């Protein structure tokens, strides 16, 4: 979480940050993928 806090500070995000979940995995779905992201966008 230190890395997340560092980037949030660099980007000027408000504190405290919104809830999030970070789950470590041994392997991702595709071996060539370095990062897997799931996101929900809310549009006004």
Which pLDDT value is given to residue 14? 85
Q: What is the pLDDT of residue 27?
A: 67
Full-model pTM: 0.41
Q: Say how far apart CA 6 and CA 36 lie, in whole Å.
A: 20
Q: Which pLDDT score, from 0 to 100, does residue 28 have? A: 66
Q: How would DSSP label each residue in 1-44? A: -HHHHHHHHHHT--SSPPP------S--SSTT-S----------
Q: For the segment 25-37, what is each residue's pLDDT rounded down to a tens digit? A: 776 677 777 777 7
pLDDT digits (tens, 9 = 90+) for 1-44: 788 888 888 988 888 887 877 777 776 677 777 777 788 888 87
């Amino acid at each position: 979480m230190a890395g997340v806090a560092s980037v949030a500070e660099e980007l000027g995000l408000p504190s405290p940050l919104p809830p999030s979940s970070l789950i470590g995995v041994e392997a991702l779905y595709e071996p060539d993928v370095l990062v897997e992201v799931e996101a929900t966008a809310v549009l006004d």
